[in-house]
Chain A
Amino acid sequence: MEAYVKKENVIKADNLSFNYEESEEGISDVNFDISEGEIVLLTGNSGSGKSTLLKCLNGLIPAVTEGDMKGLLSIEGENYSELKMYRLNQMIGSVFQNPRSQFFTDNTTAELVFPMENYGFSKEEMKERLESLCKTFGISELMDRNIFSLSSGERQLIALASAVTMKQRVLLFDEPSANLDYGNAMRLGRLLKKLRDKGYTIIVADHRFYYLGGEIDKVLFMEDGKLKLCNSEEEFKQGNYNTRSFDIFSIDIPFPEKRQASEVVASLEDVRYKDILNGVDLKLNKGEITVLVGNNGAGKTTLAKALCMSIKPDSGKVDVSGLPFFIMQDPDYQLFGTSVKNELELVKKDPAAIDHCLKYLGLSKYKYKHPFDLSGGQKQRLQIGMAMLCDRELIIFDEPTSGLDVYSMLNVSKEINRLREKAGVLVISHDYEFIRHVANRVVYLKDGVIKKDFILDEQSLSDLNNIFKEMQEDKDV
């Protein structure tokens, strides 16, 4: 039998460049080629052109975003510029980070058949394909359910299955790990490896890539709109970009100084809520940054909601002195001001403090901009500014680093560390590196009870690492 030869140049870019109509940003002189069955990592800081290149690859540039595109981009020898969007999408499957752009319908079955309906499949063909998808991804149980009632891991599976309904062989992922806990991210890594072994070509755009460690064939690293191509994971690691997060457990960060726990700012006593919280006892102290870890569905957000009085526990006692300042994951829901300055004024009318805060956060030149015109990282910083100004005793962050690049993450850590001077801080996170930068104390929530609660130092570091390993193993079952 003839040996199967891998196709080369499945995707090829030749002097590709793109400039947005309304801004300076863009990409230029991009050259690369990707062969069949490769796992390619596309990374770079925010604003580096990473998303622009991704949009070129999935065709949303020029279909949705207009601008000036030059050079050549081809897939399996066909030129992108001559391909209609619907043709391109028979070859490329896209998985978006945001469920709103990922799912067109709200029902799992409807979502999986949606592309087939668009391409005019017969009902029999659809049934057959649906069955084989269920088998490949093990999602029979998830059929005919509301997509928003699924867990983030389950949703990821549906997204993945819907991206290959047309038997696409090239898959594009936009920040797939942003909404996944550690266990689910590692599982995604294994899944991608399996798909690669089946011959799929996989391109992943992400800030975190620990879950791909050892599997990357090529890295497209974007910097200031230019591409630096690394032909192996090794080559990428040897560059000067911060790639420590490949092996997250080996990072070496000094532990925060020990402090005498001072006044208690919030406490929970035997709090129970539905079957989510099953008797939680917790005391939060001023001057301490407590990180709450646990897999999705462990009850972390519910616990935060109990502290915010958004839910009333079935039994037990919640004792907080005034409402906490709660910073949710998506800043778009919590910015109400007409300008950056006004947003901070809504928190506290103190011009001197506001100016100081803006300067500290490097947002001074955006003072009169509308909050929605800021980038993701800037919005995040503005929210931290709000937390700095507020007079609340407890500040809660829900996944403050999802979708931030390494450098923004480091900035956020620095700023959160400062907050403990004036308040107690509770951080919900599954970003190991970030946790190491901010945590004084770690609380591990599992099945609605606190399994572990310890001060983080040299001795207890192994406890934290074990928690992460345990979270991963829970997903292997």
Chain B
Amino acid sequence: MKAININPIVLIIVNIIAPSMYMFLSGKFIQVFLLVFAAALMALMGRFKRLAIYLLIYGAIMGIYYVTMQIKSIEATGLFLIVLVQCVPCIALASILVSKYNSAQLLSALETLHVPRVLVVAVTITLKYIPTFRREFSYITESMRLRGIGFTWKRPVKSFQYFIVPQLFRCAALAEEVTAAGLVKGIDAPMNRSSYFEEKFTFADVAVLVVFAAGLVGGIVWKHM
């Protein structure tokens, strides 16, 4: 089967709505629904490897949860885990958002949602920082290893400090660099922004949103029956 292409807007909408639904719906239902929904969506998009990884994480957390529930003294940990596990489907979908689409595509998607420009730029810069951070993370850990100040559990705070301080300084420098990169390319132009990557909503996009909405409505009906 051919992997379908999903408009990033769909993923953004789902990621905004899903977490807030916990306020209205029964925990158990939405937990299962989101899991199935996210898994199906990832499979349709052909992201099988990612799906497998997140299913494993999900399974592992649930496993630990059931174990902790058997032992009275660490029940609190279990309750924490069950909250944590609810975030996994959303994180999985968000991770596709960051990995599959480049920042220009995300920028266009947000623009079509008529989010204010300032917010769009802020979000895009944040998203841009994630891959940069990933790259720099490996440089820093490597250089800590070579300096002989690698992470040790004996002095976790000190180790963490060595790691986090250069990061903070990098952030400050990066903020300036990113601003410069945007500004010299006309990010402050008052014209209506156009998009090279903008894609029309396809049947698949609509279908995904309809299924998502139907699930939520179904949940509400079910809760009140």
Contact = CB atoms under 8 A, between A and B. Distances in A.
A328 B141 CA distance: 13
Interface stretch (A8-16, A118-126, A464-472): A118-126
A117 B195 contact: yes
B182 interface: yes
A403 to B, nearest CB: 14
A407 interface: no
A123 B194 contact: yes
Interface residues of A, number: 57
Contacts of A121: 194
B180 A101 contact: yes
A346 B107 CA distance: 44
Given A105-B103, A323-B146, A336-B147, A115 B194 contact: no
Interface in A68-126: 84-86, 89-90, 92, 94, 96, 98, 100-107, 109-111, 113-123, 126
A336 B168 CA distance: 11
B107 to A, nearest CB: 8
Given A60-B180, A123-B194, A89 B128 contact: no
B194 A310 contact: no
B4 interface: no
Interface in B131-176: 131-132, 135-136, 139-140, 142-149, 162, 165-166, 169-170, 173-174, 176
B186 interface: yes
Contacts of B146: 308, 310, 323-326
Contacts of B136: 333
A102 B165 CA distance: 25
Contacts of B173: 332
A94 B184 CA distance: 7
A146 to B, nearest CB: 9
Interface string B177-201: 1111111111111111111111000
Contacts of A107: 102, 104
B105 interface: yes
A119 B170 contact: no
Contact of A166 (B176, B183, B186, B191): B186
A37 B218 CA distance: 69
A103 B181 contact: yes
Contacts of A103: 181
A104 B169 CA distance: 20
Contacts of A90: 186
Nearest to B179: A64
A310 B143 CA distance: 10
B104 A114 contact: yes
Nearest to B198: A123
Q: Which of A104, A105, A114, A323 is packed against the most chain B CB atoms within 10 Å?
A: A104
A19 B170 CA distance: 25
Interface string A113-142: 111111111110010000000000000000
Given A89-B185, A326-B146, A333-B136, A118 B128 contact: no
B183 A89 contact: yes
A106 B107 CA distance: 13
Contacts of A372: 166, 169
B124 to A, nearest CB: 8
Interface in A318-337: 323-326, 328, 330, 332-336
Nearest to A126: B196
Contacts of B189: 86, 118-120
Nearest to A92: B184
Given A103-B181, A107-B102, A114-B185, A86 B143 contact: no
A347 B147 CA distance: 8
30 contacts: A58-B184, A60-B180, A64-B179, A64-B183, A85-B186, A89-B186, A96-B181, A100-B132, A104-B181, A106-B102, A106-B103, A110-B103, A110-B104, A111-B104, A113-B104, A114-B185, A117-B104, A117-B196, A118-B186, A119-B191, A120-B194, A148-B135, A308-B146, A310-B142, A310-B145, A323-B146, A332-B173, A333-B136, A336-B162, A372-B166
Interface of B: 102-105, 107-108, 128, 131-132, 135-136, 139-140, 142-149, 162, 165-166, 169-170, 173-174, 176-198
Given A104-B182, A346-B149, 19 more contacts: A59-B184, A60-B184, A64-B183, A86-B189, A89-B186, A90-B186, A101-B177, A101-B181, A103-B181, A107-B104, A118-B186, A123-B196, A148-B135, A310-B145, A323-B148, A324-B146, A326-B146, A332-B170, A336-B166
Interface of A: 58-60, 63-64, 84-86, 89-90, 92, 94, 96, 98, 100-107, 109-111, 113-123, 126, 148, 162, 166, 308, 310, 323-326, 328, 330, 332-336, 338, 346-347, 372
